[in-house]
């Protein structure tokens, strides 16, 4: 059984106005915390994402940048636990490398320093499957080596994992890192290069135009539904595990062709795919998580099937589009 360590505690969520962070904040309220502090600069997150809980007296939203280290330190001083989710998207990282360094690399050093100074009980760090680049083994275990990663984003995530590891070793600071695979669901990013394929296809279904598959559709991903990712975060806080890194995926590999077929099926749609040239956005042709470690230590197994998740995501997207029209 999972203990509730969140009760009467102050929880800081960096990046809490974003896709995953806002779902996490919403779920945490049910665990009876003393306070939830959200730090977000709204570079990508929105007040709309937080509208379900913005007026809840348990929640304090602070609009600010994590690189304002005095501010971050002040918030950490008040906090028992930290979920560190703030990050730039993979492509945005290369637009301003100095800012990326400060907000993705230096920030986690400052965060760890402050956490030690202020006796934070645990940091739950949002890492990414990007640390693997194209993995060597499928399903990919956490021990797969990270040397195929070629991105700044993946490098920053790996640094985050490693600095936390060293702070555990140096100062006993507890942490758990979660390497998410392809997270999707209501509120997901509609513009990101990896996930946008779902959104583009939903637009095709809505507009009754043939959905486009770039390349032959054989690229695979491991899609994990948002509520399962939130569940993993809460388990990572509540279980007595530290100094461990877990893959968080579905443990199922889905090709883009299969994804489209399922998406058409759940929307009762008989449009036919149109194959176009590969747009080469994604240098990684395969993703499949080995989730046995998370299962063993966090009792993690996904609850939401891809079919069910796609149904919910489609409903959300069509409703949002409808509302925007009003």
Q: How many CB atoms lie within 10 A of CB 208?
A: 8
Catalytic residue from among 99, 132, 147, 153: 153
Q: Does residue 161 interact with ligand NAD by CB under 6 A?
A: no
Look at the block and give the residue holding tokens 């709309």: 48
Q: Quick one: which segment of 84-92, 203-211, 279-287, 289-297 binds ligand NAD (CB under 6 A)?
A: 84-92
Kindly tell me which of 86 and 254 has the beta carbon lying closer to ligand NAD.
86
Among 26, 40, 173, 251, binds ligand NAD (CB under 6 A): 40
Dist CA 243 CA 232 (whole Å): 16
**Token reading at 245:** 């890194």
Q: Does residue 267 interact with ligand NAD by CB under 6 A?
A: no
Answer yes or no: 239 catalytic: no
Q: Does residue 87 interact with ligand NAD by CB under 6 A?
A: yes
Q: Are 111 and 94 spatial neighbours (Cβ–Cβ below 8 Å)? A: no
Q: Does residue 21 interact with ligand NAD by CB under 6 A?
A: yes
Measured N-to-C along each axis, helices 226-238 and 19-28 cross at an angle, to the nearest 10 degrees, of 60
Task: Tell me the C-alpha to C-alpha distance, in Å, between residue 239 and each of 2, 21, 165, 234.
Answer: 6, 20, 18, 9
Dist CA 82 CA 24 (whole Å): 12
Kindly tell me which of 105 and 269 has the beta carbon lying closer to ligand NAD.
105
Q: Does residue 114 interact with ligand NAD by CB under 6 A?
A: no
Dist CA 194 CA 276 (whole Å): 17
Q: Does residue 100 interact with ligand NAD by CB under 6 A?
A: no
Under rule CB under 6 A, how many of the chain's residues touch ligand NAD?
A: 28
Phi, psi of 260 (to 5 degrees): -65, -45
Q: Does residue 86 interact with ligand NAD by CB under 6 A?
A: yes
Site residues, ligand NAD (CB under 6 A): 15, 17-21, 39-45, 65-67, 85-89, 103, 126, 128, 180, 182-183, 189
- Catalogue the active-site residues: 153
């Amino acid at each position: 059984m999972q203990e509730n360590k969140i009760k009467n505690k102050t929880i800081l969520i960096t990046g809490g106005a974003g896709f995953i962070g806002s779902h996490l904040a919403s779920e945490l309220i049910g665990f009876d915390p003393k306070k939830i502090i959200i730090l977000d600069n709204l570079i990508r997150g929105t007040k709309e994402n937080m509208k379900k809980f913005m007026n809840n007296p348990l929640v304090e939203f602070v609009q600010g940048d994590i690189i304002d280290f005095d501010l971050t330190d002040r918030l950490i001083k008040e906090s028992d636990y930290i979920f560190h989710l703030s990050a730039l998207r993979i492509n945005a990282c290369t637009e301003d490398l100095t800012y990326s360094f400060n907000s993705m690399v230096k920030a986690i050093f400052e965060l760890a320093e402050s956490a030690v100074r202020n006796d934070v009980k645990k940091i739950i760090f949002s890492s990414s499957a990007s640390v693997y680049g194209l993995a060597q083994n499928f399903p990919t275990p956490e021990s797969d080596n990270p040397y195929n990663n070629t991105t700044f984003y993946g490098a920053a995530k790996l640094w985050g994992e490693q600095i936390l590891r060293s702070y555990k070793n140096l100062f006993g600071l507890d942490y758990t890192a979660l390497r998410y695979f392809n997270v999707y669901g209501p509120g997901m990013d509609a513009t990101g290069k990896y996930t946008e394929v779902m959104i583009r296809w939903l637009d095709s279904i809505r507009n009754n135009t043939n959905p486009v598959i770039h390349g032959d559709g054989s690229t695979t991903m491991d899609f994990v539904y948002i509520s399962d990712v939130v569940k993993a975060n809460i388990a990572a806080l509540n279980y007595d595990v530290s100094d461990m890194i877990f893959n968080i995926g579905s443990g199922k590999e889905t090709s883009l062709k299969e994804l489209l077929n399922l998406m058409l099926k759940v929307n009762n749609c008989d449009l036919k795919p149109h194959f176009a040239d590969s747009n080469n956005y994604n240098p990684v042709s395969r993703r499949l998580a080995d989730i046995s470690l998370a299962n063993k230590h966090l009792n993690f197994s996904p609850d939401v099937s891809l079919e069910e998740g796609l149904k919910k995501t489609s409903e959300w997207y069509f409703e949002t589009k409808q509302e925007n029209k009003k």
